[in-house]
Amino acid sequence: MPKSDLVLLALDNPNILPLFERALAAASYLVAFARDRAALDKILQETSPALLIISDKFKDESGIEISATLLERFPTLPILLFATQESPTAVKDALRFGISDILNPPLRIDDIMHTVENSLKRAQRIGDWTRRSQAHDRLA
């Protein structure tokens, strides 16, 4: 997987943003920031990020609900949810809507990178499977 993949951060917490930025930059990922919903939509229209990391609350909106809407438009986009507190309800909702994984504090750079790498690998496997399935359908 090329490390020049673009990771889009939609994080409200200014204290956690530098940790994510450092972790991703150290692994040579390109990083873009969405400061609000309009910026998030614009970046998604203009680029093809490999991954989105979004806060559970993003500018007074539910990160899970935003993710659900985005996954309707971009069903193969891996999304990681940064949840400030562990919540069984949030986990259940995230899984139901197709969010790839959830990150909770306390975070370490290794935790972030492991989760990012796993989500990108899974997305790549899904993309490979989809392409093989479509090729098979065309041949049938």
pLDDT in tens, 81-137: 999 888 888 889 998 999 999 999 988 899 999 999 999 988 887 665 555 555 556
**6-139: which CATH architecture?**
3-Layer(aba) Sandwich (3.40)
pLDDT at 1: 42
E strands of 6-103, at which residues? 6-10, 30-33, 51-55, 57-58, 61-62, 79-82, 101-103
pLDDT of residue 2 exceeding 50, the answer is: no
What ranges do the domains of the chain cover?
Answer: 6-139
Q: What residue has token string 């609900």?
A: 65
Q: Look up the pTM and report it.
A: 0.86
pLDDT digits (tens, 9 = 90+) for 12-54: 888 888 999 999 988 889 999 999 999 999 999 999 899 999 9
Going by C-alpha positions, the residue among 106, 82, 91, 110 that lies closest to residue 10 is: 82
